[in-house]
């Protein structure tokens, strides 16, 4: 979930379609993101994902999605990834499209989100261009993240948590039990990345300190950085936590 310029978008663009599900109202529109034509994906008024068009469809749009690339930089040999929260499949498309030897499993609780990604966000093109699903490089699981972790024996080199319900992170995955389960599914030296919506100072900064405390209880190496350094410290923004399995 991305917060850049959410309240200042005075020209939101042309609405292509609107869907309703138990998870809220989904709006897909063509518009601009920082002045560049893009397709935007909104849930209950919160911008969840986006894609550029045509030859740029596998490039990353949001700052926090580009920040996930730090996990690749920190562990260039990582081959097996798990991501909670599919939405428009922005980062899975990038990973599969740019790194031919990497694989990703995606757990998405809402089947409608996968249908939207296939029809409007070029997810089906991954199969045409890279045979992503038929070769097993991309596997999609519909269900709750905690249930997936409880039922699988899979181990991963990198796990990414971008599971949000509108602008609220998945409570199970961010709980101490959820963090413990995530740690148990990392290979030695594995990395866990979590996109947190918070401020760094002031009244809105409590999620930052609670998250840091919970992660440090499970991981020896925990640090975070701002995904959009130009945002004021007191403003709500995307923070990426990276924790390492020792």
51-97 confidence digits (pLDDT tens): 999 999 999 999 999 999 999 999 999 999 999 999 999 999 999 99
Rounded CA-CA distance 47/143 in Å is: 22
Q: Is residue 20 part of a domain?
A: no
What does pTM read for this prediction?
Answer: 0.93
Please report, for the domain that includes residue 80, its CATH number: 3.40.50.150
The chain-wide mean pLDDT, for the chain, equals 93
9: pLDDT strictly greater than 80: no
pLDDT score at 119: 96
Mean per-residue pLDDT, 220-230: 94
Number of separate domains in the chain: 1
Residue 101 counted as domain residue: yes
Query: 10 pLDDT band (50/70/90 cuts)?
Result: very low
Q: Which of 12-26, 47-61, 149-163 has the lowest mean pLDDT?
A: 12-26
Is residue 215 pLDDT above 90, yes or no? yes
Domain that holds residue 169: 58-244
**pLDDT the model gives residue 178:** 97
DSSP state of 201: S
Query: Is the pLDDT confidence value at 5 over 60?
Result: no
Among left, alpha and beta (phi > 0; psi -120 to 50; other), residue 225 is: beta
The 3 state secondary structure assigned to 107-128 is: EECCHHHHHHHHHHCCHHHHHH
pLDDT at 126: 97
Query: How does pLDDT run across 83-142, given as a tens digit for each residue?
Result: 999 999 999 999 999 999 999 999 999 999 999 999 999 999 999 999 999 999 999 999
Residue 1's pLDDT band (boundaries 50, 70, 90)? low
Assigned domain for 236 exists: yes
> How high is the pLDDT of residue 2?
61
The reported pLDDT for the residue numbered 45 is 86
- 150 within domain boundaries: yes
* pLDDT confidence of residue 23: 85
In a domain, 177, yes or no: yes
Instruction: Classify residue 77: in a domain, yes or no.
Output: yes
Give the count of beta carbons closer than 10 Å to the beta carbon of residue 222. 18
How far is Cα 65 from Cα 60, in angstroms, rounded to an integer?
Answer: 6
Cα–Cα distance between 91 and 88 in angstroms, integer?
9
Residue 226 maps to a domain? yes
Q: Give the span between the Cα atoms of 196 and 174, in whole angstroms.
A: 10
């Amino acid at each position: 979930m991305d917060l850049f310029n959410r309240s200042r978008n005075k020209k939101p663009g042309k609405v292509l379609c609107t869907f309703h599900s138990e998870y809220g109202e989904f709006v897909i529109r063509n518009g601009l993101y920082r002045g560049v034509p893009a397709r935007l994906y909104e849930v209950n008024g919160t911008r969840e994902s986006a894609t550029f068009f045509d030859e740029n469809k596998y490039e990353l749009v949001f700052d926090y999605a580009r920040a996930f690339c730090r996990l690749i930089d920190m562990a260039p040999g990582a081959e097996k990834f798990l991501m909670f929260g599919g939405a428009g499949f922005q980062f899975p498309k990038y990973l599969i499209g740019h790194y031919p030897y990497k694989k990703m499993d995606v757990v998405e609780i809402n089947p409608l989100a996968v249908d939207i990604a296939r029809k409007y966000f070029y997810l089906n093109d991954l199969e045409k261009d890279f045979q992503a699903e038929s070769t097993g490089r991309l596997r999609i699981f519909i269900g709750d993240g905690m249930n997936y972790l409880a039922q699988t024996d899979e181990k991963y080199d990198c796990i990414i948590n971008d599971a949000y319900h509108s602008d609220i992170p998945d409570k199970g995955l961010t709980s101490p039990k959820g963090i413990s389960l995530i740690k148990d599914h990392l290979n030695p030296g594995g990395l866990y990345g979590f996109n947190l919506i918070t401020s760094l100072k002031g009244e809105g900064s409590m999620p930052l300190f609670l998250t840091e405390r919970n992660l440090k209880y499970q991981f020896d190496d925990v640090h975070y950085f701002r995904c959009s350094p130009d945002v004021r410290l007191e403003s709500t923004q995307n923070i990426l936590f990276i924790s390492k399995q020792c």
